[in-house]
Protein backbone atom coordinates (compact mmCIF):
# COMPACT_ATOMS: atom_id res chain seq x y z
CA UNK A 1 0.00 0.00 0.00
CA UNK A 2 1.29 3.45 -0.95
CA UNK A 3 0.86 5.76 2.04
CA UNK A 4 1.53 8.85 -0.06
CA UNK A 5 -1.32 7.98 -2.41
CA UNK A 6 -3.62 7.51 0.56
CA UNK A 7 -2.68 10.95 1.92
CA UNK A 8 -3.36 12.46 -1.50
CA UNK A 9 -6.74 10.77 -1.60
CA UNK A 10 -7.60 12.04 1.90
CA UNK A 11 -6.82 15.61 0.87
CA UNK A 12 -8.54 15.19 -2.48
CA UNK A 13 -11.69 13.82 -0.84
CA UNK A 14 -11.87 16.93 1.34
CA UNK A 15 -11.62 19.35 -1.57
CA UNK A 16 -14.02 17.48 -3.82
CA UNK A 17 -16.78 17.29 -1.22
CA UNK A 18 -19.52 19.96 -1.51
CA UNK A 19 -19.83 19.88 2.28
CA UNK A 20 -16.30 21.27 2.53
CA UNK A 21 -17.23 24.39 0.62
CA UNK A 22 -20.50 24.70 2.51
CA UNK A 23 -18.59 24.57 5.80
CA UNK A 24 -16.08 27.17 4.59
CA UNK A 25 -18.88 29.39 3.27
CA UNK A 26 -20.76 29.28 6.57
CA UNK A 27 -17.57 29.84 8.56
CA UNK A 28 -16.37 32.76 6.46
CA UNK A 29 -19.91 34.17 6.41
CA UNK A 30 -20.17 34.09 10.21
CA UNK A 31 -16.73 35.66 10.60
CA UNK A 32 -17.49 38.34 8.00
CA UNK A 33 -20.75 39.18 9.78
CA UNK A 34 -18.99 39.55 13.11
CA UNK A 35 -16.29 41.67 11.48
CA UNK A 36 -18.93 44.03 10.10
CA UNK A 37 -20.45 44.36 13.58
CA UNK A 38 -17.04 45.17 15.05
CA UNK A 39 -16.44 47.83 12.39
CA UNK A 40 -19.84 49.44 12.99
CA UNK A 41 -19.33 49.59 16.73
CA UNK A 42 -15.61 50.30 17.02
CA UNK A 43 -14.59 51.73 13.61
CA UNK A 44 -11.38 49.73 13.99
CA UNK A 45 -10.91 45.98 14.21
CA UNK A 46 -8.21 44.26 16.22
CA UNK A 47 -6.88 41.40 14.11
CA UNK A 48 -6.32 39.36 17.27
CA UNK A 49 -10.06 39.45 17.99
CA UNK A 50 -10.84 38.16 14.51
CA UNK A 51 -8.22 35.45 14.97
CA UNK A 52 -9.76 34.43 18.30
CA UNK A 53 -13.26 34.28 16.80
CA UNK A 54 -12.07 32.32 13.78
CA UNK A 55 -9.97 29.87 15.78
CA UNK A 56 -13.10 28.33 17.29
CA UNK A 57 -14.91 28.02 13.96
CA UNK A 58 -11.94 26.48 12.15
CA UNK A 59 -11.08 24.13 15.00
CA UNK A 60 -14.58 22.67 14.69
CA UNK A 61 -14.37 22.46 10.89
CA UNK A 62 -10.90 20.93 11.09
CA UNK A 63 -11.99 18.32 13.61
CA UNK A 64 -14.95 17.37 11.41
CA UNK A 65 -12.53 16.93 8.50
CA UNK A 66 -10.33 14.73 10.69
CA UNK A 67 -13.31 12.60 11.72
CA UNK A 68 -14.41 12.29 8.11
CA UNK A 69 -10.90 11.17 7.16
CA UNK A 70 -10.89 8.59 9.95
CA UNK A 71 -14.36 7.22 9.28
CA UNK A 72 -14.52 7.34 5.47
CA UNK A 73 -13.22 3.82 4.93
CA UNK A 74 -15.33 2.53 7.82
CA UNK A 75 -18.56 3.95 6.39
CA UNK A 76 -17.70 2.79 2.85
CA UNK A 77 -16.77 -0.71 4.01
CA UNK A 78 -13.32 -0.51 2.42
CA UNK A 79 -11.25 -0.51 5.62
CA UNK A 80 -10.45 -4.22 5.30
CA UNK A 81 -8.70 -3.56 1.98
CA UNK A 82 -6.07 -1.45 3.76
CA UNK A 83 -5.78 -3.39 7.02
CA UNK A 84 -5.23 -6.95 5.76
CA UNK A 85 -1.50 -7.05 6.60
CA UNK A 86 0.56 -5.65 9.46
CA UNK A 87 2.70 -3.57 7.09
CA UNK A 88 -0.40 -2.12 5.45
CA UNK A 89 -1.96 -1.34 8.82
CA UNK A 90 1.08 0.62 9.94
CA UNK A 91 1.28 2.45 6.61
CA UNK A 92 -2.43 3.25 6.77
CA UNK A 93 -2.10 4.65 10.30
CA UNK A 94 0.93 6.78 9.41
CA UNK A 95 -0.97 8.14 6.40
CA UNK A 96 -3.89 9.13 8.62
CA UNK A 97 -1.57 10.94 11.03
CA UNK A 98 -0.04 12.84 8.10
CA UNK A 99 -3.55 13.72 6.92
CA UNK A 100 -4.33 15.13 10.38
CA UNK A 101 -1.24 17.33 10.16
CA UNK A 102 -2.20 18.55 6.69
CA UNK A 103 -5.72 19.39 7.89
CA UNK A 104 -4.24 21.42 10.76
CA UNK A 105 -2.05 23.30 8.27
CA UNK A 106 -5.03 23.94 5.98
CA UNK A 107 -7.19 25.29 8.80
CA UNK A 108 -4.39 27.58 9.92
CA UNK A 109 -3.93 28.82 6.37
CA UNK A 110 -7.65 29.44 5.82
CA UNK A 111 -7.93 31.41 9.06
CA UNK A 112 -4.77 33.47 8.65
CA UNK A 113 -5.73 34.28 5.04
CA UNK A 114 -9.08 35.67 6.19
CA UNK A 115 -7.44 37.75 8.92
CA UNK A 116 -4.91 39.19 6.45
CA UNK A 117 -7.70 40.14 4.03
CA UNK A 118 -9.63 41.88 6.83
CA UNK A 119 -6.50 43.73 7.95
CA UNK A 120 -6.00 45.06 4.42
CA UNK A 121 -9.59 46.30 4.24
CA UNK A 122 -10.22 47.88 7.65
CA UNK A 123 -8.12 49.81 10.14
CA UNK A 124 -6.93 48.27 13.37
CA UNK A 125 -4.17 46.37 15.08
CA UNK A 126 -2.56 43.73 12.90
CA UNK A 127 -1.82 40.18 13.95
CA UNK A 128 1.89 39.52 14.37
CA UNK A 129 3.76 36.72 12.63
CA UNK A 130 4.51 35.28 16.07
CA UNK A 131 0.78 35.00 16.80
CA UNK A 132 0.22 33.18 13.50
CA UNK A 133 3.00 30.77 14.37
CA UNK A 134 1.43 30.16 17.80
CA UNK A 135 -1.89 29.41 16.07
CA UNK A 136 -0.22 26.92 13.74
CA UNK A 137 1.49 25.07 16.59
CA UNK A 138 -1.73 25.05 18.61
CA UNK A 139 -3.74 23.67 15.69
CA UNK A 140 -1.17 20.92 15.15
CA UNK A 141 -1.43 19.88 18.80
CA UNK A 142 -5.23 20.22 18.81
CA UNK A 143 -5.84 18.14 15.69
CA UNK A 144 -3.23 15.51 16.53
CA UNK A 145 -4.48 14.99 20.08
CA UNK A 146 -8.16 14.70 19.24
CA UNK A 147 -7.45 12.97 15.93
CA UNK A 148 -5.35 10.23 17.54
CA UNK A 149 -7.86 9.84 20.35
CA UNK A 150 -10.77 9.45 17.94
CA UNK A 151 -8.72 7.11 15.75
CA UNK A 152 -8.28 4.88 18.79
CA UNK A 153 -12.04 4.94 19.31
CA UNK A 154 -12.45 3.94 15.67
CA UNK A 155 -10.14 0.96 16.16
CA UNK A 156 -11.92 -0.22 19.28
CA UNK A 157 -15.48 0.47 18.10
CA UNK A 158 -15.60 1.11 14.33
CA UNK A 159 -18.93 2.93 14.35
CA UNK A 160 -19.06 6.20 12.40
CA UNK A 161 -21.93 7.72 14.36
CA UNK A 162 -20.21 6.98 17.67
CA UNK A 163 -16.97 8.64 16.59
CA UNK A 164 -18.79 11.80 15.49
CA UNK A 165 -20.73 11.81 18.77
CA UNK A 166 -17.61 11.44 20.89
CA UNK A 167 -15.87 14.21 18.94
CA UNK A 168 -18.78 16.60 19.42
CA UNK A 169 -19.03 15.80 23.14
CA UNK A 170 -15.31 16.40 23.67
CA UNK A 171 -15.41 19.78 21.94
CA UNK A 172 -18.76 21.14 23.10
CA UNK A 173 -19.82 19.46 26.33
CA UNK A 174 -16.61 19.74 28.33
CA UNK A 175 -16.01 23.51 27.82
CA UNK A 176 -19.67 24.41 28.40
CA UNK A 177 -19.87 22.23 31.52
CA UNK A 178 -16.71 23.68 33.03
CA UNK A 179 -18.32 26.88 34.48
CA UNK A 180 -20.65 24.69 36.55
CA UNK A 181 -17.90 22.56 38.07
CA UNK A 182 -17.14 24.98 40.98
CA UNK A 183 -20.74 24.44 42.11
CA UNK A 184 -19.89 20.86 43.06
CA UNK A 185 -19.71 20.74 46.88
CA UNK A 186 -16.26 20.46 48.47
CA UNK A 187 -14.32 19.25 45.43
CA UNK A 188 -15.53 21.69 42.75
CA UNK A 189 -12.61 24.12 43.08
CA UNK A 190 -10.05 21.32 43.08
CA UNK A 191 -11.52 19.87 39.91
CA UNK A 192 -11.51 23.33 38.33
CA UNK A 193 -7.80 23.75 39.08
CA UNK A 194 -6.95 20.29 37.73
CA UNK A 195 -8.62 21.06 34.38
CA UNK A 196 -5.70 23.38 33.56
CA UNK A 197 -3.62 20.22 33.11
CA UNK A 198 -6.14 18.09 31.22
CA UNK A 199 -6.01 18.37 27.39
CA UNK A 200 -9.77 17.73 27.11
CA UNK A 201 -10.26 21.03 28.90
CA UNK A 202 -7.46 23.44 28.06
CA UNK A 203 -7.26 22.64 24.34
CA UNK A 204 -10.94 23.42 23.55
CA UNK A 205 -10.77 26.47 25.83
CA UNK A 206 -7.91 27.93 23.83
CA UNK A 207 -10.02 27.83 20.67
CA UNK A 208 -12.22 30.58 22.15
CA UNK A 209 -9.39 32.92 23.11
CA UNK A 210 -6.50 34.68 21.43
CA UNK A 211 -3.98 33.00 23.72
CA UNK A 212 -2.53 29.99 21.92
CA UNK A 213 0.49 29.60 24.20
CA UNK A 214 1.04 26.80 26.70
CA UNK A 215 2.50 26.66 30.17
CA UNK A 216 5.49 24.40 30.67
CA UNK A 217 3.29 21.69 32.15
CA UNK A 218 0.78 22.00 29.33
CA UNK A 219 3.59 21.64 26.78
CA UNK A 220 4.77 18.48 28.54
CA UNK A 221 1.28 17.02 28.96
CA UNK A 222 0.30 17.78 25.35
CA UNK A 223 3.45 16.26 23.89
CA UNK A 224 3.30 13.24 26.20
CA UNK A 225 -0.39 12.66 25.42
CA UNK A 226 0.20 12.75 21.66
CA UNK A 227 3.20 10.41 21.92
CA UNK A 228 1.30 7.96 24.14
CA UNK A 229 -1.75 8.00 21.86
CA UNK A 230 0.50 7.47 18.84
CA UNK A 231 2.21 4.47 20.46
CA UNK A 232 -1.06 2.95 21.70
CA UNK A 233 -2.65 3.34 18.27
CA UNK A 234 0.39 1.88 16.54
CA UNK A 235 0.47 -1.10 18.91
CA UNK A 236 -3.26 -1.68 18.55
CA UNK A 237 -3.07 -1.44 14.77
CA UNK A 238 -0.37 -4.11 14.57
CA UNK A 239 -2.30 -6.50 16.82
CA UNK A 240 -5.92 -6.02 15.81
CA UNK A 241 -7.56 -7.91 12.98
CA UNK A 242 -10.02 -5.70 11.11
| Per-residue pLDDT reduced to its tens digit, 156-182 | 888 888 888 888 888 777 667 766 666
pLDDT confidence of 209, banded at 50, 70, 90? confident
How large is the average pLDDT for residues 101-108? Answer: 96
Average pLDDT over residues 171-194: 69
The mean pLDDT value of the chain amounts to: 84
- Checking if the pLDDT of 101 tops 90, the result is yes
The DSSP-derived string for the chain is: --HHHHHHHHHHHHHH-HHHHHHHHHHHHHHHHHHHHHHHHHSS--HHHHHHHHHHHHHHHHHHHHHHHHHHHHHTT-HHHHSSSHHHHHHHHHHHHHHHHHHHHHHHHHHHHHHHHHHHHS-SPPPPHHHHHHHHHHHHHHHHHHHHHHHHHHHHS--HHHHHHHHHIIIIIHHHHGGGGGGSTTTHHHHHHHGGG-HHHHHHHHTTSS-----HHHHHHHHHHHHHHHHHHHHHHHH---
Asked if residue 76 has pLDDT above 70, the reply is no
Predicted pLDDT at 204: 87
- More confident of the two residues 166 and 110: 110
- What per-residue confidence (pLDDT) applies to 189? 67
**pLDDT category, 79, cuts 50, 70, 90?**
low
The pTM of the full predicted model, rounded to 2 decimals, is: 0.90
Residue 109 has pLDDT above 80, yes or no: yes
Q: Residue 221 pLDDT more than 90?
A: yes
pLDDT in tens, 34-46: 888 887 877 777 7
- Assess whether pLDDT exceeds 60 at residue 242: no
Q: What is the pLDDT of residue 44?
A: 75
Amino acid sequence: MNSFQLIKYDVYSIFRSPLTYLALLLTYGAMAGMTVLFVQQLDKVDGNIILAVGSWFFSIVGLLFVIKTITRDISQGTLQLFMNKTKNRVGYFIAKVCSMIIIALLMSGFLVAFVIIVQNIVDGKNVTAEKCWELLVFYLIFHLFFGLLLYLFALVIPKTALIYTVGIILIFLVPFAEPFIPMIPKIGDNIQDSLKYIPFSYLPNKTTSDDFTFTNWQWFISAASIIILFIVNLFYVTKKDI
